[in-house]
Amino acid sequence: MALLIGDTAPDFEVDSTEGPIKFHDYIDGSWAVLFSHPADFTPVCTTELGYTAKLKSDFEKRNVKVIGVSVDPLDDHKRWSADIEETQGTALNFPLIADPGRVVADLYDMIHPNADSTLTVRSVFVIGPDKKIKASFAYPASTGRNFDEILRLIDSLQLTAKHQVATPVNWKSGEDVIIVPSVSDEDAKKKFPDGWKAVKPYLRLVPQPLD
C-alpha cells in the first residue's frame, strides 16, 4: 500500500556517501526531504543533484536535511559524485543512499513497475520532525523536478503547521495567506487583530504571520 500524507515515514538503516544512516535518528528533530533518482551516470539526475547541492544553505535555514537515494551501489555513487561536481559546478554535499537491495525503494514504493521494473521513479517525500509524511509526489524519469518548488512547498508546510492558515495558489513566502475555515471570525479577531480581507465568508485573506 502506498504511503499517505500523515503516515509515519518508514525507518531504515543503510549505507550512504556520508556513512551509515539510520533514518529516524538522522532526522533528529529536523525536517527531511527524501528523494529518489532512477540511476547514476544519467543526465537528468546529474543536473538535479547538482542543483540540490547549490541549495544547501536554503535547506539549512529551513532546518531541512536532504537525502538522495537510488538502487545503485556506493562505489558508483562516489565515482558519479566527481562528474556532478565537474559538470554542475558544485560538489555533492548531502548523503546519497546506496540501495542496491531496494530496501528504501520498496519501503517507499519508489519503483513503479509499469514505468520500469528495476529503477526508481523521481519520488519526493517531505517529512516533518515528528517523522510524519507531510507531502509526496512522483515524476517520471524523463522529467527533472523543480527544487525551487520543493522549497516553496516546505515554506508552506512549515508556516501552516505553526499557524491556522492555508496558502493560496502560486503563493510565495511573504504573500497573503488564507485563514482556515475552522477558525471562526470571533477567534480570528483574537489571532489576527489587525483584521483581514473577506473576499467571501470562507475566503479571508490576511498578511502572512511573521513569527
| pLDDT digits 0-9 by tens, 85-121 | 999 999 999 999 999 999 999 999 999 998 988 889 9
> Which one is catalytic: 14, 45, 110, 150?
45
Residue 119, pLDDT score:
87
Longest dimension (CA), the chain: 60
172-180 long-range contacts (CB < 8 A, ≥24 apart) are 173/208, 174/208, 175/208, 176/205, 176/206, 176/207, 176/208, 177/205, 177/206, 177/207, 177/208, 177/209, 178/203, 178/204, 178/205, 178/206, 179/204, 179/205, 179/206
13-145: CATH superfamily = Glutaredoxin (3.40.30.10)
Assess whether 45 carries a catalytic annotation. yes
pTM of the model: 0.95
Q: Does domain 163-206 have CATH number 3.30.1020.10?
A: yes
pLDDT above 90 as % of the chain: 95
Q: 13-145 and 163-206 share one CATH topology? A: no
Q: Is the separation of the CB atoms in 122 and 36 below 8 Å? A: yes
d(CA 46, CA 95): 15
Query: What average pLDDT does this structure show over 160-184?
Result: 97
Domain ranges of the chain: 13-145, 163-206
Three cell numbers at 189? 479577531
pLDDT digits (tens, 9 = 90+) for 32-58: 999 999 999 999 999 999 999 999 999
Residue 118, pLDDT score:
83
Query: What average pLDDT does this structure show over 64-81?
Result: 96
Amino acid in position 153: L
pLDDT digits (tens, 9 = 90+) for 117-126: 888 999 999 9
72-78 long-range contacts (CB < 8 A, ≥24 apart) are 72/39, 72/40, 72/98, 72/99, 72/100, 73/98, 73/100, 74/15, 74/16, 74/17, 74/98, 76/40, 76/41, 77/16, 77/17, 77/40, 78/17
